[in-house]
């Protein structure tokens, strides 16, 4: 996308302000501060209220568990594996764009479960893959746990195949050990909707906060004026066509009149006059 390198598609609103109301309006938008909740986390907790302790690029780690070719082929809670794979890669690209540490692991890759997705290996070519040869709950594998602890992060983004096993089991264990856990539901996958529903309910009741890939991406960006806007905008454009088309539509027409080769606009005006 050539426009991303020029200004960043996600800054379209500010560019529109320049066209519509002049530079003063745009400057006001650019100087508007981000305002935190009025209540401190300590006060909210003391009063029994929810504390919005959100994941950020600085406090988070991403765990990608068992996204293997054999296991993925059995996912049944998606309309297509293409949609599912798209979400997994978008999540991985988000981590890379925001410099979030990533831990990769596989289970019995030498047998029926298959190897890690080649696209994930290409995204993280220097990343060591934690190979598990029997332990189902990745958090109970000492090598995996050591890799997690080495990041020093306490907000855990986790997606594993399947949701009821490879995501839920480590989530429950990490909650017991005091981590803040965010299962990324639409980058996990389950054998059935029953498994997915049960896993989401079980993890939520235990204290986890389920999230989805693109809302998580927005939460990581949280302000389009940040210097990661181009990278985040590119992920939206490439992996969420519903929003990417909106962005493309703007960049295809900004600053220029849309041609009317069939003269339909003029015909309409003539009919109105009649």
Within a domain: 178: yes
Nearest Cα residue to 184 out of 205, 214, 207: 214
Within a domain: 138: yes
CA quadruple 171, 159, 200, 180: dihedral sign: positive
CATH of the domain at 67: 3.40.50.850
pLDDT-derived band at 79, boundaries 50, 70, 90: confident
Within a domain: 149: yes
Count how many domains the chain has: 1
Q: For residues 7, 217, 58 and 31, what is the CA-based torsion angle, rounded to 10 degrees?
A: 40
Higher pLDDT, 249 or 162: 162
Q: Which of 63, 166, 184, 217 is catalytic?
A: 166
Q: Residue 126 corresponds to which tokens in the numbers above?
A: 């220097």
For residue 162, cis peptide bond before it (omega within 30 degrees of 0): yes
Q: What is the structure's pLDDT at 225? A: 87
The CA-atom distances, in angstroms, between 78 and each of 74, 164, 187, 193, 226 are 11, 15, 10, 9, 33
Q: Is the pLDDT of residue 251 over 80?
A: no
Q: Which tens digits make up the pLDDT trace of 191-241?
A: 999 999 999 999 999 999 999 999 999 999 999 889 999 999 999 999 998
Domain around 185: 60-219
CA distance 240 to 245: 9
Q: Is the pLDDT of residue 50 over 80?
A: yes
Within a domain: 250: no
Within a domain: 161: yes
The CA-atom distances, in angstroms, between 73 and each of 60, 112, 122 are 29, 11, 20
Given a contact cutoff of 8 angstroms between Cβ atoms, the answer to whether 105 and 65 are in contact is: yes
Within a domain: 125: yes
Active-site annotation holds for 166: yes
Which residues, including other chains, have CB under 8 Å from residue 145's CB and lie 6 or more apart?
139
Given a contact cutoff of 8 angstroms between Cβ atoms, the answer to whether 236 and 248 are in contact is: no
134: left (phi over 0), alpha (psi -120 to 50) or beta: left
pTM (2 decimals)?
0.84
Within a domain: 266: no
What rounded mean pLDDT belongs to the chain?
86
pLDDT-derived band at 252, boundaries 50, 70, 90: confident
| Number of Cβ within a 10 Å radius of residue 18 | 14
Within a domain: 152: yes
Which residues, including other chains, have CB under 8 Å from residue 132's CB and lie 6 or more apart?
105, 106, 107, 108, 138, 141, 144
């Amino acid at each position: 996308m050539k426009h991303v390198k020029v200004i960043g598609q996600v800054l379209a609103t500010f560019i529109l302000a320049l066209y519509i109301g002049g530079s003063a309006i745009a400057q006001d938008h650019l100087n508007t501060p981000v305002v935190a909740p009025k209540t401190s986390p300590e006060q909210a907790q003391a009063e029994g209220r929810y504390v919005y302790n959100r994941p950020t690029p600085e406090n988070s780690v991403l765990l990608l568990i068992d996204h293997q070719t054999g296991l993925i082929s059995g996912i049944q809670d998606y309309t297509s594996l293409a949609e599912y794979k798209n979400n997994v890669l978008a999540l991985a690209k988000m981590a890379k764009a925001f410099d979030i540490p990533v831990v990769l692991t596989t289970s019995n890759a030498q047998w029926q479960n298959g190897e890690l997705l080649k696209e994930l290996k290409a995204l993280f070519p220097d990343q060591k893959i934690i190979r598990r040869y029997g332990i189902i709950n990745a958090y109970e594998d000492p090598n995996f746990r050591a890799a997690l602890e080495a990041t020093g992060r306490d907000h855990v983004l986790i997606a594993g195949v399947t949701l009821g096993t490879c995501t839920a089991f480590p989530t429950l264990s990490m909650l017991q050990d005091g981590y803040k856990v965010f299962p990324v539901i639409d980058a996990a996958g389950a054998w059935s909707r029953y498994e997915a529903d049960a896993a989401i309910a079980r993890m939520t009741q235990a204290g986890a906060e389920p999230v989805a890939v693109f809302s998580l991406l927005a939460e990581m960006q949280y302000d389009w004026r940040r210097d990661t806007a181009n990278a985040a905008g590119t992920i939206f454009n490439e992996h969420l066509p519903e929003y990417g088309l909106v962005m493309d539509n703007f960049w295809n027409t900004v600053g220029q009149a849309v041609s009317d080769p069939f003269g339909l606009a003029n015909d309409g005006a003539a009919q109105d006059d009649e």
